[in-house]
Amino acid sequence: MKHIVLLSIIVIVYSEKYINILGDNPPNFTELAANYGHQALEYDVITEDGYILRLFRIKGEREMPVLLMHGILDSADTWVLRGNESLAITLANKDYDVWLGNCRGNKYGRRHIYLDPDNNTFWDYTFHEHGYYDLPATIDNILFITNASKLNAIGHSQGTTIFYVLGSTRHEYNNKINVLIALAPVCFLENMEPPLKTMIQYSPMIYLTANMLDIKEIFGTNQNVINTICQQPIINSICVTNTIFPITGEDSDELEDIPILYEHFPTATSVKNLYHFSQVSYKRQFANFDYGVKLNLDKYGSPTPSVYQLDKITMKISLFVGINDNISTLDNVAMLKQSLPNVINYMIIPHTKMNHIDFVWGLPISTA
Ligand SMILES: *[C@@H]1O[C@H](CO)[C@@H](O)[C@H](O)[C@H]1NC(C)=O
Ligand SMILES: *[C@@H]1O[C@H](CO)[C@@H](O)[C@H](O)[C@H]1NC(C)=O
Ligand SMILES: *[C@@H]1O[C@H](CO)[C@@H](O)[C@H](O)[C@H]1NC(C)=O
Ligand SMILES: *[C@@H]1O[C@H](CO)[C@@H](O)[C@H](O)[C@H]1NC(C)=O
Ligand SMILES: *[C@@H]1O[C@H](CO)[C@@H](O)[C@H](O)[C@H]1NC(C)=O
> Could you give the CA distance from residue 66 to residue 178 in angstroms, rounded to a whole number?
10
Question: Domain for residue 317, yes or no?
Answer: yes
Contacts of 196 (CB under 8 A, 6+ apart): 246, 247, 326, 327
Q: Enumerate the β-bridge partners of residue 319.
A: 182, 346
Instruction: Tell me the CA–centroid distance for residue 118 and ligand 3, in Å.
Output: 9
Query: Is 238 part of a structural domain of the chain?
Result: yes
Using one digit for the tens of pLDDT, what is the confidence trace for 36-92?
A: 999 999 999 999 999 999 999 999 999 999 999 999 999 999 999 989 999 999 999
Residues with Cβ < 8 Å from 297, sequence gap 6 or more? 303
Flag whether 7 is in a domain: no
Q: What is the CATH number of the domain that holds 124?
A: 3.40.50.1820
Length of the chain, in residues: 368
Atom of ligand 2 nearest to the CA of 84: 1
Residue nearest to atom 12 of ligand 5 (CA): 249
Instruction: Taking residues 162-185, report their average pLDDT.
Output: 98
| 336 located within any domain | yes
Residue 92 maps to a domain: yes
Q: For residue range 239-260, list pLDDT tens digits in order.
A: 888 778 888 888 866 656 676 7
Q: Which domain holds residue 195?
A: 26-361
**Span from the CA of 291 to the centroid of ligand 3 (angstroms):** 21
Number of domains in the chain: 1
Decide if 89 contacts 83 (C-beta within 8 A): yes
pLDDT (tens digit, 9 = 90+) per residue, 312-333? 999 999 999 999 999 999 999 9
Can you give the pLDDT at residue 233?
74
Summarize the confidence of residues 114-125 as an average pLDDT: 96
Residue 321, C-beta contacts closer than 8 angstroms, at least 6 positions apart: 184, 185, 328, 330, 333, 346, 347, 348, 349
Going by C-alpha positions, the residue among 64, 62, 96 that lies closest to residue 79 is 96
Q: What is the mean pLDDT of the chain?
A: 90
Lowest mean pLDDT among 166-170, 174-178, 258-262: 258-262
In a domain, 6, yes or no: no
pLDDT for position 220 = 79
Q: Does 3 fall in a domain?
A: no
State the number of CA atoms in the 13 A half-sphere of 11 facing the CB: 6
CB of 37 within 6 A of ligand 2: the answer is yes
Whose Cα sits closest to atom 14 in ligand 3? 119
Instruction: Give the residue-averaged pLDDT of 155-162.
Output: 98
Going by the DSSP 8-state scheme, the letter that residue 255 receives in this structure is: G
Cβ–ligand 1 distance for 30 under 6 Å, the answer yes
pLDDT mean over 11-23: 54
Q: How far apart are CA 175 and CA 104, in angstroms?
A: 24
Minimum-distance ligand 3 atom for the alpha carbon of 120:
1
Give the pLDDT score at 246: 83
Q: What is the pLDDT of residue 5?
A: 60
Among the listed residues 112, 179, 212, 137, the one whose alpha carbon sits nearest the alpha carbon of residue 342: 179
In this prediction the pTM is: 0.92
Residue 251 resides in a domain: yes
